[in-house]
Amino acid sequence: MEKGKLGPDDASFIWEEFKKGFHEKYFPQGIRFQKYRKFDRLEQGDMTVAQYAAKFEEMSQYAPTLISEDSDRARKFENGLRRRIQQQVAAFELSSYKDVVNKALVIEKGLDNAQAAREKNMKKRFRPTDSPS
């Protein structure tokens, strides 16, 4: 390699060092620990799967050691899903984070469609009938 030119590995190393230094200077240890704990306890709750995935991505930067492997990331995300979705996703035994997110999105859509169909049927059943004159 020519002197003064950086290769892709050098650039990524420099970037990682910069991020580490930046975090140490501008994010005190106490705040980083709070963010770590908040991520560690993150669950889907009332969020959609897409919202949960976005929040998971946003907060995951504070706990890189918790999810250093893709399979760890997948399990952490899966375990935070709402129980009904989590149980169905778990049955597929997916090890990739991307696959877990995609499967959760598909399952959520299916559950939403089933709920909408049930509500539609309930409305049909309890529709007021025309009374004879």
Contacts of 78 (CB under 8 A, 6+ apart): 86, 89, 90, 94, 100, 104
The DSSP symbol for 65 reads: T
- pTM score, two decimals? 0.75
Nearest to 54 by CA among 40, 69, 44, 67: 44
If pLDDT is split at 50, 70 and 90, which confidence band does 1 have?
A: very low
pLDDT digits (tens, 9 = 90+) for 15-46: 888 877 887 777 788 888 999 999 999 999 99
Type of residue numbered 80: G
Q: Which long-range contacts (CB under 8 A, 24 or more apart) does 112-120 make?
A: none
Q: Where are the domains of the chain?
A: 17-125
pLDDT digits (tens, 9 = 90+) for 58-91: 999 889 899 999 999 999 999 999 999 999 999 9
